[in-house]
Amino acid sequence: MSRSMITGGAGMVGRQLASLLLARGEQVDILDIVPPERLPADIRDRVTLVHGNLSSWSEVMEAVARSRPDTIYHIAALMPPNSEQNHAASWEINVNGTMRVLEAARLFEVGTVVYSSTTATFASELPEPVPNDHPQFPEMLYGVTKVCSERLGEYYHRRYSVNFRGVRFLSILGPGRVPGSGWSAYTSLVIEECAKGNPYVIKVNEELRLRFIYVKDAALSLMKLADADEERLTTRMYNLDGFSASTRELVDGVLTYMPDAQISWQFDPEYQHVMDTRYGVIQHRMDDALARQDWNWQTSYSREDAIRDFIEDVRSGRT
């Protein structure tokens, strides 16, 4: 039976990935800093939660030494705005944490390390679509830490044959997103809060159009990349794309299923400015041709599918 370790496995993507891996019979260890009750009920008793912090060499080494996973999905990270407010923590968790995971993978001969990067590794002024190998000059420290991790992973692959591979996600839409986990978190929170019967206030304009990948597609991409045939990989890092939605389209999607949803608008020019500048990158389409070609990647969820599935999962308590 294969064994996988997911760093940050209690988070939005990690919990979906854990479900997918469990469904195909894998043993799953989650390395995270949260208490067990933060794991969704449907996976809590089926995974091993290893309480460990990426900031600690001994905790990461010990976790990997005990688990001896075939694959590590390294997806824990500090995201904006938190990453931009605490530079030291951002570097420690996102860059040094990745170094610790890669060292552990090297020393304990882990078969594959799959990494979740971000399209925020690119600048805001970009060609359309953004090529896989476009130069990376991030607007935020978050993006800088992710570029560093991509290059570290590639270095460990070249120098030590660690089987590192990764994807760059757009903004991820899905349940389980916490305020503070990205400036674009409002796009998920408006759906989740309304599905729970709570009111929600939006601070950006109706026209703001971002590109998204649904969280179940995001989790599936990590599993598919882990499974991909090494011979067919032409790079170690892959752009992914998804669907586009304006704020108005997201809200209309919510109102289709929940006509009584209490959504109000309270425009905040500063928030809008951040979305248009530092977050401008997620308004761009990514060229994901290499992912399609090398490991037959394609998304399953359109905007409408994603909103419907999201609401159903929240209402049925499957999050």
Ligand X SMILES: NC(=O)c1ccc[n+]([C@@H]2O[C@H](COP(=O)([O-])OP(=O)(O)OC[C@H]3O[C@@H](n4cnc5c(N)ncnc54)[C@H](O)[C@@H]3O)[C@@H](O)[C@H]2O)c1
Interface residue list for ligand X (CB under 6 A): 7-8, 10-14, 32-34, 53-55, 75-79, 93, 116, 118, 169, 171-172, 181-182, 184
The smaller minimum CB distance to ligand X, of residues 118 and 163, is found at 118
- Gap between the Cα atoms of 202 and 276, Å rounded: 15
The smaller minimum CB distance to ligand X, of residues 134 and 161, is found at 134
CB of 182 to ligand X, least distance (A): 5
Q: Sort strands 209-214 and 243-246 into parallel, antiparallel or unpaired.
A: antiparallel
The smaller minimum CB distance to ligand X, of residues 32 and 288, is found at 32
Nearest 5°: CA angle at 171, between 170 and 175? 135
Residue keyed to tokens 């597609």? 217
Nearest to 77 by CA among 104, 61, 53: 53
Residue whose beta carbon is closest to ligand X: 11
CB of 146 to ligand X, least distance (A): 7
CB of 231 to ligand X, least distance (A): 27
The smaller minimum CB distance to ligand X, of residues 75 and 251, is found at 75
CB of 43 to ligand X, least distance (A): 13
CB of 213 to ligand X, least distance (A): 8
- Gap between the Cα atoms of 261 and 251, Å rounded: 9
CB of 78 to ligand X, least distance (A): 6
CB of 260 to ligand X, least distance (A): 28
User: How many Cβ atoms are within 10 Å of 14's Cβ, its own excluded?
Assistant: 27
CB under 8 Å to 45, separation ≥6 — which residues?
none
Nearest to 304 by CA among 266, 252, 260, 229: 252
- DSSP SS3 for 34: coil
Task: Identify whether the C-beta of residue 82 lies closer than 8 Å to the C-beta of residue 61.
Answer: no
The smaller minimum CB distance to ligand X, of residues 54 and 113, is found at 54
Nearest to 13 by CA among 97, 84, 77: 77
Which residues are paired to 167 by β-bridges?
116, 238
The smaller minimum CB distance to ligand X, of residues 89 and 107, is found at 89
Query: C-alpha 37: how far from its chain's center?
Result: 21
Nearest 5°: CA angle at 189, between 188 and 190? 95
The smaller minimum CB distance to ligand X, of residues 99 and 264, is found at 99
